[in-house]
Amino acid sequence: MSHHTHHLQTRRRRVWSKVYRIMSKSIQRIFLLLAMGIGFGLYALYQIKSGPDPDHVWLGLVYLIPSIAAFVALLMLPSKSTT
């Protein structure tokens, strides 16, 4: 590995470590659950719409379960109340 490549990798690690320190854990959870819900939901709809084959419909319904679970978990995250 050349010195230049090592320097770029070290610099990337420093930048990402700063990003992770800035983002709180609750923001990370929200982004992750939102991405999971949207990703699994879109794939489930794609599977359901992709053909009249019953296997596609069942597979779409199976992928819909983690999508719904991610959105429910997102709604059940504790919120900061202003008192």
pLDDT band at 24 (very low <50, low <70, confident <90, very high): confident
Could you read off the pLDDT of 27-66 as tens digits, one per residue? Answer: 888 999 999 999 999 999 999 998 778 898 999 999 999 9
Task: Break the chain into its structural domains and give their ranges.
Answer: 24-83
**What is the rounded distance in angstroms from the CA atom of residue 64 to the CA atom of residue 48?**
10
Q: What is the pTM of this model?
A: 0.65
| Cα torsion through 48, 51, 55, 58, rounded to 10 | 10
**Per-residue pLDDT at 4:** 63
**What is the rounded distance in angstroms from the CA atom of residue 23 to the CA atom of residue 33?**
15
